[in-house]
């Protein structure tokens, strides 16, 4: 068939020195991180109760296609599922090498059209040649066109008894819900740190490679939970080091990784305001091999730790922070203003969005770091505003004898007039209800909706709003609300999240009040008499008319 991938040769899969292929799981028990899913599928096949279509979704490199092939082998294995691949099998070996006549792999990324799917459906009308089931594995299925999905629907819902579909995708949201509802869906999550660490450790032992544990921890961190990425990085590190003993310092150079302590040192220099030292410090990091975009992401990570270190536990197997970095962050967080850290966070995100449109990204980072010192100075200016006013008053007092009384009176009048104008242009906000009312006045209906429906308030005081976590809250809510509050009050507000249980949202409060009114009215004689006349009615709401 023209639309199917050409399978890898058995020689490449078995003898390849590429670790990602050499250690690709061939049985359910070889899979890591997805034991519950493997057990569920195993039991369904064992009891002859398997689904017509399987859908595996998740991030890159966590075993979607591998899962698909193992399921295909389990469905067709000659030696029964209990002995999967333990003996020589005419079904399992060809499936593992992608050249089985009845197990066909389609690459939806390159074959997206409706004609390709129609060809597949036409081919499905014929029973399997040598296996129990004819199986179609469609990788990156979200790439199919809308017409292709529609053509697939009927066959997918009521396939012949000998036909099975197995889909894999990284973009589940792009698949029509009509297709998802016809499949047995399995969401493959990232592999946990400790599990992936142990897996790579065992591979280094099998390969007889001398790799430090800290190197493996670094690889696990950089892989972000992807097994394939982790194996590729390990392969790269071993080859780059020419098969010698792999030390952490070597791995840092290979991957362009920089310790968190370097970022902490840089932050200290930023808060001191020494521009020359800031530039020199960053250039050392840049010359060590770190990319500007990666620098910004790591910088964000350090800011996160500084703001939330009191809620973070430094576990032994977690490479995110070393013991010395952990202690340093705790010490530094006590000295830094939380509002300044949040301001840095917002400005770093803004720079991260702009970095792709700049030709020389390194220059952008240097200017970004210098700008941070001015942000810090601006924050200090706001914090010390009252002291500055006092200093001005003292100076004016010293100059009193040298200035004409009428001039002083004129200055005073101008100042009072400015204060009146400033006061007139700012709003007084003391509660969530005040904030919602102002949103109505200013026609900020998106903010009003979020505040009424998705905000569970914990506390509201002193230009600080604390709310509990809510998955429904719009991602840009904090940014939008902060900007509007600054425009309306001319002050910076602190908006923070907490795990504490917040109060009911305004919408929830209204619903509770509504149910209470309905319950009270249902027990009234008026409603009881009404039921006698109209027994089928249902009370859904109560409204008070003006008349």
23 near 202, Cβ under 8 Å?
no
Q: How many CB atoms lie within 10 A of CB 147?
A: 14
* 3-state SS, residue 459: strand
> What is the band of 406 on the pLDDT scale with cuts at 50, 70, 90?
low
Question: What is the pairing mode between strands 464-468 and 494-498?
Answer: parallel
53 near 183, Cβ under 8 Å?
yes
Segment among 50-54, 177-181, 529-533 with least mean pLDDT: 529-533
> Measuring CA to CA, which residue among 266, 264, 262 is closest to residue 252?
262
CATH 1.10.8.60 fits 193-255, yes or no: yes
Per-residue pLDDT reduced to its tens digit, 289-343: 788 888 888 888 888 888 888 777 655 444 456 667 778 888 888 887 788 888 8
Does residue 35 surpass a pLDDT of 50?
Answer: yes
CATH code of domain 260-382: 1.20.272.10
Distance, in Å, from the CA atom of 395 to the CA atom of 392, rounded to the nearest integer, reads 5
Q: What is the dihedral of CA 49, 52, 58, 59, to 10 degrees?
A: 120
Distance, in Å, from the CA atom of 516 to the CA atom of 520, rounded to the nearest integer, reads 6
- Which pLDDT score, from 0 to 100, does residue 317 have? 44
Does residue 166 surpass a pLDDT of 90?
Answer: yes
86 near 93, Cβ under 8 Å?
no
Does residue 530 surpass a pLDDT of 50?
Answer: yes
| Residue showing tokens 């066909």 | 104
Q: What is the mean pLDDT of residues 202-229?
A: 88
Q: What is the dihedral of CA 233, 236, 242, 247, to 10 degrees?
A: -20
φ, ψ dihedrals at 465, nearest 5°: -120, 125
Sign of the CA dihedral 12, 14, 18, 24?
A: positive
Does residue 487 surpass a pLDDT of 90?
Answer: no
Order of strands across the sheet that contains 184-187: 103-107, 134-139, 163-169, 53-57, 184-187
Per-residue pLDDT reduced to its tens digit, 137-158: 999 999 988 888 988 888 888 8
Does residue 415 surpass a pLDDT of 60?
Answer: no
Tally of residues, the chain? 547
Domain span(s) for CATH 3.40.50.300 in the chain: 10-187
> What is the band of 3 on the pLDDT scale with cuts at 50, 70, 90?
very low
**Tokens encoding 512:** 């509770």
Domain 432-498 classification at class level: alpha beta
Residue 303 C-beta-side C-alpha neighbours within 13 Å = 21
CATH code of domain 10-187: 3.40.50.300
Distance, in Å, from the CA atom of 504 to the CA atom of 489, rounded to the nearest integer, reads 26
> Measuring CA to CA, which residue among 347, 356, 358 is closest to residue 300?
347
> What is the band of 224 on the pLDDT scale with cuts at 50, 70, 90?
confident
Q: What is the mean pLDDT of residues 451-476?
A: 81
Mean pLDDT is highest, among 120-124, 163-167, 264-268, 300-304, for 163-167
Domain span(s) for CATH 1.20.272.10 in the chain: 260-382
- Which pLDDT score, from 0 to 100, does residue 468 have? 80
**Better-predicted residue by pLDDT, 359 or 318:** 359
Segment among 152-166, 211-225, 321-335, 445-459 with least mean pLDDT: 321-335
Distance, in Å, from the CA atom of 372 to the CA atom of 281, rounded to the nearest integer, reads 14
Domain span(s) for CATH 3.30.300 in the chain: 432-498
Distance, in Å, from the CA atom of 508 to the CA atom of 454, rounded to the nearest integer, reads 9
**Tokens encoding 338:** 């939380």
Does residue 14 surpass a pLDDT of 50?
Answer: no
Q: What is the mean pLDDT of residues 496-511?
A: 78
Does residue 247 surpass a pLDDT of 60?
Answer: yes
Q: Tell me which H or E stretch contains 108.
A: none
Average per-residue pLDDT in the chain?
A: 80
> What is the band of 455 on the pLDDT scale with cuts at 50, 70, 90?
confident
Does residue 8 surpass a pLDDT of 60?
Answer: no
pTM across the whole model: 0.59
CA-angle at 195, arms to 194 and 196, nearest 5°: 95
83 near 28, Cβ under 8 Å?
no
Distance, in Å, from the CA atom of 454 to the CA atom of 445, rounded to the nearest integer, reads 13
Q: What is the mean pLDDT of residues 84-109?
A: 77
Does residue 186 surpass a pLDDT of 90?
Answer: yes
φ, ψ dihedrals at 487, nearest 5°: -65, -40
Per-residue pLDDT reduced to its tens digit, 371-391: 888 776 665 555 555 455 455
């Amino acid at each position: 068939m023209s639309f199917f991938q050409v399978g890898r040769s058995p020689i490449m899969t078995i003898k390849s020195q590429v670790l990602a292929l050499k250690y690709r799981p061939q049985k359910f028990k070889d899979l890591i991180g997805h034991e519950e899913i493997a057990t569920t599928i195993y039991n369904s096949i064992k009891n002859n109760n398997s689904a017509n279509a399987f859908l595996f979704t998740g991030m890159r490199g966590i075993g979607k296609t591998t899962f698909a092939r193992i399921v295909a082998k389990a469905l067709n294995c000659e030696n029964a599922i209990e002995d999967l691949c333990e003996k020589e099998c005419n079904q399992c070996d060809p499936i593992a090498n992608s050249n089985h006549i009845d197990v066909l792999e389609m690459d939806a990324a390159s074959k997206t059209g409706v004609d390709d799917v129609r060809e597949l459906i036409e081919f499905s009308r014929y029973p399997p040649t040598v296996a129990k089931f004819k199986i179609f594995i469609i990788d990156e299925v979200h790439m199919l066109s809308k017409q292709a999905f529609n053509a697939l629907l009927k066959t997918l819902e009521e396939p012949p008894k000998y036909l099975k579909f197995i889909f894999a995708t990284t973009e589940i949201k792009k698949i029509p819900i009509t297709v998802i509802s016809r499949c047995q869906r399995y969401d493959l999550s990232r592999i946990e740190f400790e599990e992936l660490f142990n897996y790579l450790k065992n591979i280094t032992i099998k390969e007889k490679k001398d790799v430090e544990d800290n190197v493996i921890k670094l690889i696990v961190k950089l892989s972000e939970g992807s097994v394939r990425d982790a194996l590729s990085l390990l392969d790269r590190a071993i080859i780059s080091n020419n098969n010698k003993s792999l030390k952490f310092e070597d791995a840092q150079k290979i991957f362009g990784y920089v310790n968190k302590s370097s970022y902490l040192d840089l932050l200290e220099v930023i808060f001191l305001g020494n521009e020359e030292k800031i530039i020199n410090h960053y250039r050392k990091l840049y010359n060590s091999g770190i990319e500007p975009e990666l620098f910004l992401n790591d910088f964000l990570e350090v800011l996160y730790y500084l703001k939330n270190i009191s809620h973070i536990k430094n576990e032994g197997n977690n490479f995110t922070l070393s013991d010395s970095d952990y202690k340093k962050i705790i010490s530094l967080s006590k000295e830094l203003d939380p509002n300044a850290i949040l301001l840095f966070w917002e400005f770093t995100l803004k720079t991260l969005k702009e970095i792709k449109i700049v030709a020389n990204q390194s220059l952008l980072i240097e200017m970004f770091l210098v700008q941070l010192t001015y942000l810090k100075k601006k924050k200090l200016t706001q914090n010390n505003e009252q002291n500055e006013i006092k200093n001005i008053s003292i100076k004016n007092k010293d100059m009193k004898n040298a200035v004409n009384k009428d001039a002083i009176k004129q200055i005073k009048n101008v100042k009072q007039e400015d204060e009146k104008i400033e006061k007139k242009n700012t709003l007084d906000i003391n509660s969530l209800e005040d904030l919602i009312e102002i949103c109505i006045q200013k026609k900020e209906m998106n903010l009003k909706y979020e505040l009424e429906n998705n905000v569970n308030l914990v506390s509201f005081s002193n230009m600080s709003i604390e709310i509990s976590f809510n998955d429904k809250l719009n991602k840009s809510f904090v940014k939008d609300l902060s900007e509007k509050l600054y425009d309306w009050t001319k002050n910076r507000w602190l908006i923070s999240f907490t795990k504490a249980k917040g109060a009911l949202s305004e919408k929830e409060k209204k619903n509770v009040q509504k149910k209470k009114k309905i319950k009270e009215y249902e027990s009234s004689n008026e409603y009881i008499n009404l039921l006698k006349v109209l027994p089928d009615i249902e009370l859904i709401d109560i409204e008070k008319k003006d008349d």
